[in-house]
């Protein structure tokens, strides 16, 4: 299997440093030209909500960082569709377009990568 990395991010954007660390890991992998996928699951899908203004917390805006990923060669963000449904989030509320993964597709998707890291 050729080298590829899947980064799973499962925490809300400003809950500790997990979301930021997942993004940093994805950017590092991509900067070494390793094919990298970012998969948001559970509370991690809150990172995609549009309209985030984190200046007053004060923290770096996670959704802005997500939108910068294509510059680093990470063209697609993958999302567990069920995690969106459970939270009543619709595609129109997201800050960018994503690739939805259904319950049936998820295990296969994860297995396609030679390394999987959970944040």
Partner 1 sequence: MSILHTVNKTGQPLALCLRAVSSGDSVLLIEDGVYALMSADQSLSMLPDRCAVFVMDTDAMARGVPASVEAIDYDRFVTLCTEHDQVLSWF
Q: Is 51 or 88 the residue whose CB approaches partner 1 more closely?
A: 88
Q: Is 60 or 111 the residue whose CB approaches partner 1 more closely?
A: 111
What are the helix (H) ranges across the chain?
18-31, 62-68, 81-86, 106-111
List of residues 6+ apart from 74 with CB closer than 8 A = 26, 27, 30, 36, 37, 38
CB 41 → partner 1: shortest distance, Å?
5
CB 23 → partner 1: shortest distance, Å?
18
What residues make contact with partner 1 under the rule CB under 8 A? 1, 8, 10, 41-43, 80, 82, 103, 106-108, 110-111, 115-116, 118
């Amino acid at each position: 299997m050729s080298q590829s990395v899947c980064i799973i991010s499962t925490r809300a954007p400003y809950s500790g440093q997990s979301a930021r660390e997942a993004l940093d890991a994805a950017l590092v992998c991509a900067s070494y030209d390793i094919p990298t996928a970012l998969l948001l699951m559970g509370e991690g899908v809150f990172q995609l909500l549009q309209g985030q203004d984190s200046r007053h917390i004060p923290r770096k805006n996670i959704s802005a960082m997500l939108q910068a990923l294509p510059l680093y060669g990470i063209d697609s963000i993958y999302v567990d569709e069920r995690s969106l449904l459970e939270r009543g989030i619709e595609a129109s509320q997201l800050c960018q377009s994503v690739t939805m993964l259904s319950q049936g597709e998820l295990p296969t998707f994860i297995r396609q990568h030679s390394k999987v890291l959970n944040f």
